[in-house]
A and B are shown apart, each in its own frame.
Chain A
Amino acid sequence: MNISIHPLGDQALLIDFGESINEETNQQVRQAATKLDEQKPDWMIEYIPAFSTLTILYNPYYIAKKIRSQELLPYEWARTKVLDLLSQSSSYHSEERTIEIPVCYGGEWGPDLSFVASHNSMSEEDVIDIHMKGDYLVYMIGFAPGFPYIGGMDKKIAAPRRDDPRLSIPSGSVGIAGEQTGVYPIETPGGWQLIGRTPLKLFEADRDHPSLLQAGDRIRFTRIDEAEYKHLKEGEQ
């Protein structure tokens, strides 16, 4: 393992697990996050996992009082604690959650499905098939509340962003941008090609876990029809 730790300003440190985006590196990030969840260090404010890094926000004043040392910098102390934590073996075993996301593909729910199909010289049914068969991993949540960065889409259904971004994309929209697929948790402007919509609420502030998805989740897209969409949507309200 090639791990390095760097200060991010004077109240945060960043653990770098390697530069590239791949499942192994991302799994190391998750392992470290799980250890932090288990141990809940009192000097930590929160952590932010990303593709290949984990950032820890800490309270330097709290650490200074705790260690009662004039010489030792709180950052250096926290860094040692983090190295300790990383070297410990963990009870973590890759127990992954698989979250099923029901999608009503095409029609008014996915107005760009036909574009994605013709762009890749295939039928709409082929696009849906390939999209559903993908093996997807949530690498991180960012950009907007509950927005998942998803890896694993088949390049065969890749499609460029729209030239004229929509001013408003409804929440739950499932789209494709380049070689990525994604789901919009909240209504937002955007240039993704929309192929369907899910009735699930990906983000809700008042839930115990506001974000439906978390880093490390596997996703499976399943197909529902309009009637099921409406039925499930009512259940979500």
Chain B
Amino acid sequence: MISVLKSGLMTTIQDTGRYGYQKDGVIVSGAMDQQAHRIANLLVGNSVDAATMEITLMGPVLEFQEDALIAICGGNLTPIIDGDSVSMWKPLYIKKGSELRFGQPKKGFRCYLSISGGFQVRKVMGSASTYLRANMGGFEGRTLEKGDQLRFGQPDSLPKDSKEQLKTLNKATSFKEASWFVGPEFTDYMKNDQPIRVMPGREFDLFTEQSKEHFFNGAFQIDSKSDRMGYRLNGTTLNLENKKDIVSEAVTFGTIQVPPDGNPILLLADHQTTGGYPKIGQVATVDLPRIAQMRPGEKINFSPISHEEAQHLLLEKEKNLKQLQRGIETKLF
């Protein structure tokens, strides 16, 4: 059991998402940064779809009532256990009675806390993800609050040396870090030095030459009114050549649509199932983790990518993640 002593800015339980019910109008939700969520699970011997805790900018304070094997991946929000800062992207053995808190955020916007056995919440429509607007899923359909008690499951196969590791903790130390960690090729994506790669959307050609040009060459800024549903982007407004009514159709995580006011909206994990605004672009899936780690106020640039190339990059990334998984498994089991 884990007790929530302080809630943090916005802390929710998420997994890979709630698929299969979009035809009923139920949104997917799930972790905004699927890469960090997935690696966090791998590091504690979980399956990739186990529930993790999504922590946003200002983290919670958590007290562990049991020994546990955990990992923290994603944005660096300065995790601290009993006064000592701890490493991210590696397994951590934490002792019963210890307290995990977060300091000043250093890099990125969200991080994921995984725990061996996964957070145990009642699954709704096959998923543990929190759907805040419908008060559904996750921990009682809401963000975590002070006083909440979170259960975690018994891992299917506890990494063999984790119990041994925990035994070696002496009275003075609250935690122990594994000696190895995930390499920078999987963790170093939080610098905003390259534009976000975008495929042209279905209505790309309906925009004026000037708007198309600006979309790829101008800069936008993420508005403060952004949330898990979408980032509102401010910059030069984008306009259609001719007004056109668009019939509502499916949109996905990464769709960039442009409402009549001309300010684009980049749809994220909590996007509605369908949308009726013209779609100027679609972010390549491999760049979504970078998007998830951007903060309101941050500048964002786009560069064009073909749909073929985006899919090739996605396949390559998936291959690399599978390789990482095998590497972690040899270390853990």
* Chain A residues within 8 Å of B, Cβ to Cβ: 6-12, 14, 19-21, 33, 45-53, 55, 57, 60-61, 64, 73-75, 140-147, 149, 185-186, 203, 205-206, 209-211, 214-215
How many pairs of A and B residues are in contact by the CB < 8 Å rule? 130
B26 close to A (CB within 8 Å): yes
B273 surroundings in chain A (CB, below 8 A): 48, 142
A147 surroundings in chain B (CB, below 8 A): 25
Whether B285 lies near A55 (C-beta < 8 A) is no
**CB nearest to B311 among chain A residues:** A10
B319 surroundings in chain A (CB, below 8 A): 61
9 nearest A-B residue pairs (beta carbon): A55-B250, A211-B24, A48-B250, A142-B274, A9-B282, A10-B310, A61-B318, A10-B311, A53-B249
**CB nearest to A53 among chain B residues:** B249
A144 surroundings in chain B (CB, below 8 A): 25, 134
Whether A141 lies near B285 (C-beta < 8 A) is no
Known contacts A21-B247, A75-B307, A142-B248: does B23 contact A9 (CB below 8 Å)?
no
B252 surroundings in chain A (CB, below 8 A): 8-9, 11-12, 57
> What is the distance, in angstroms, from B23's C-beta to the closest C-beta of chain A?
6
Q: Which of B14-22, B68-76, B232-240 is the contact stretch? A: B14-22
> What is the distance, in angstroms, from B26's C-beta to the closest C-beta of chain A?
5
> What is the distance, in angstroms, from B161's C-beta to the closest C-beta of chain A?
31
B248 surroundings in chain A (CB, below 8 A): 50-51, 140, 142, 149
B312 surroundings in chain A (CB, below 8 A): 73
List B1-43 residues whose CB lies under 8 Å from chain A. 19-26
Query: Which of B134, B249, B273: most chain A Cβ within 10 A?
Result: B249
> What is the distance, in angstroms, from A111's C-beta to the closest C-beta of chain B?
25
Whether A210 lies near B24 (C-beta < 8 A) is yes
B158 surroundings in chain A (CB, below 8 A): none
Whether B284 lies near A10 (C-beta < 8 A) is yes
List B183-207 residues whose CB lies under 8 Å from chain A. 199, 202
Give bound CA distance, A205 to B138, whole Å: 13
B310 surroundings in chain A (CB, below 8 A): 9-10
A143 surroundings in chain B (CB, below 8 A): 25, 272, 274
> What is the distance, in angstroms, from B224's C-beta to the closest C-beta of chain A?
22
Supplied contacts A14-B250, A73-B311, 11 more A-B pairs, CB within 8 Å = A7-B199, A8-B202, A10-B199, A10-B285, A45-B19, A47-B23, A50-B248, A52-B249, A74-B315, A140-B274, A214-B23
Q: Which bucket holds chain B's interface residue count?
A: 35 or more
Q: Select which of B25, B124, B249, B255 is within 8 A of A211 by beta carbon.
A: B25
Known contacts A48-B274, A51-B247, A210-B125: does B23 contact A10 (CB below 8 Å)?
no
> What is the distance, in angstroms, from A31's C-beta to the closest C-beta of chain B?
15
**CB nearest to A141 among chain B residues:** B25
A19 surroundings in chain B (CB, below 8 A): 247
Query: Which of B22, B25, B251, B255: most chain A Cβ within 10 A?
Result: B25
> What is the distance, in angstroms, from B138's C-beta to the closest C-beta of chain A?
12
B60 close to A (CB within 8 Å): no
B314 surroundings in chain A (CB, below 8 A): 10-11, 60-61
Give bound CA distance, A139 to B319, whole Å: 40
Whether B136 lies near A205 (C-beta < 8 A) is yes
List B289-314 residues whose CB lies under 8 Å from chain A. 307-308, 310-312, 314
Whether A50 lies near B247 (C-beta < 8 A) is yes
B59 close to A (CB within 8 Å): no
Q: Can you report 7 A-B residue pairs in the complex whose CB atoms are below 8 A from each other?
A: A46-B20, A52-B247, A53-B249, A142-B272, A145-B21, A149-B248, A214-B24
Whether A48 lies near B23 (C-beta < 8 A) is yes
Known contacts A142-B25, A146-B25, A205-B136: does B249 contact A50 (CB below 8 Å)?
yes
B254 close to A (CB within 8 Å): yes
Whether A145 lies near B311 (C-beta < 8 A) is no
Give bound CA distance, A203 to B23, whole Å: 13
Give bound CA distance, A64 to B319, whole Å: 11
A60 surroundings in chain B (CB, below 8 A): 311, 314-315, 318
Whether B249 lies near A51 (C-beta < 8 A) is yes
Whether A145 lies near B24 (C-beta < 8 A) is yes
Whether B19 lies near A57 (C-beta < 8 A) is yes
Give bound CA distance, A146 to B274, whole Å: 13
Give bound CA distance, A51 to B248, whole Å: 7
List B239-290 residues whose CB lies under 8 Å from chain A. 247-252, 254-255, 272-274, 282-285
Give bound CA distance, A177 to B26, whole Å: 23
**CB nearest to A147 among chain B residues:** B25
Whether A10 lies near B307 (C-beta < 8 A) is yes
Whether A74 lies near B311 (C-beta < 8 A) is yes
Give bound CA distance, A186 to B250, whole Å: 21
A52 surroundings in chain B (CB, below 8 A): 247, 249
Give bound CA distance, A201 to B256, whole Å: 34
Give bound CA distance, A29 to B196, whole Å: 34
> What is the distance, in angstroms, from A60's C-beta to the closest C-beta of chain B?
6
**CB nearest to B250 among chain A residues:** A55
**CB nearest to A52 among chain B residues:** B247
Whether A12 lies near B199 (C-beta < 8 A) is no
